[in-house]
Amino acid sequence: MSRIGKKPIIVPQNVTANIDGNKIEIKGPNGLRDFHTSKEVEVKLEENQIVVSPKNLSKKSRQHWGMNRTQIANLIEGVTVGFTKNLELNGVGYRASLQGNTLKLSLGYSHEIDFEIPNDVKITVPKPTEININGIDQQIVGQVAANIREKRKPEPYKGKGIRYRNEYVFAKEGKKK
């Protein structure tokens, strides 16, 4: 039995939820999101909470149960609070700046890297060495952060590169004479 799937999802006052078969629409202060649940689970809206349950006790139903419940909970969190990823730039001369809908990255290459910002996310640069990525879809926010980080991953000797805030980079020891 899924421990996560058993927990009901509380719907806040400023959020509206509509369930139409396997499609769930969640509307909140940050926007509108929808999700198509698996055919193996049943979703019900009872008062101010959403309850997810398996249609039968087959292995496939139980596998989809907790995952679908978590996806719906993430929809509600996205339209109320939103999701954030924070990146830090470490290295001499490494900096970021915004110009319109483009993030300009100076990462020690012979040229600047231009990163086009998708419409679904909002990127801010509070300091030249910090990048904040916000949005209502957790998957898109994480993917954009990963795409930016991919431009210059942290290297293990000096730690230079783009890393997530509070990410630990295992430092290797350099050459010895």
Q: Taking the domains of the chain in order of start, what are their residue ranges? A: 3-80, 83-164
Q: How far apart are the first and last CA of the chain?
A: 59
Question: Which class is domain 83-164?
Answer: alpha beta
> Closest Cα to residue 29, out of 70, 82, 74?
82
Report how far Cα 30 is from the mean position of its chain's Cα atoms: 15
For 3-80, CATH gives 3.90.930.12
Task: Examine the pLDDT at 152 and tell me if it is beyond 70.
Answer: yes
Residue 65 token pair = 């149960």
> Tell me, what's the pLDDT at 147?
96
What whole-number distance in Å separates Cα of residue 46 and Cα of residue 91? 53
| Residue 101 CB partners (closer than 8 Å, separation 6+) | 116, 117
Task: Examine the pLDDT at 1 and tell me if it is beyond 70.
Answer: no
Task: Examine the pLDDT at 10 and tell me if it is beyond 70.
Answer: yes
Summarize pLDDT for 17-62 with one digit per residue, the tens: 999 988 999 999 999 999 999 999 999 998 899 999 999 888 888 8
The residue count of the chain comes to: 177
Summarize pLDDT for 99-136 with one digit per residue, the tens: 999 999 999 999 999 999 999 999 999 999 999 999 99
Task: Examine the pLDDT at 69 and tell me if it is beyond 90.
Answer: yes
Q: What percent of the chain has pLDDT over 70?
A: 99
> Tell me, what's the pLDDT at 177?
78
Least confident of 57-61, 89-93, 94-98, 173-177: 173-177
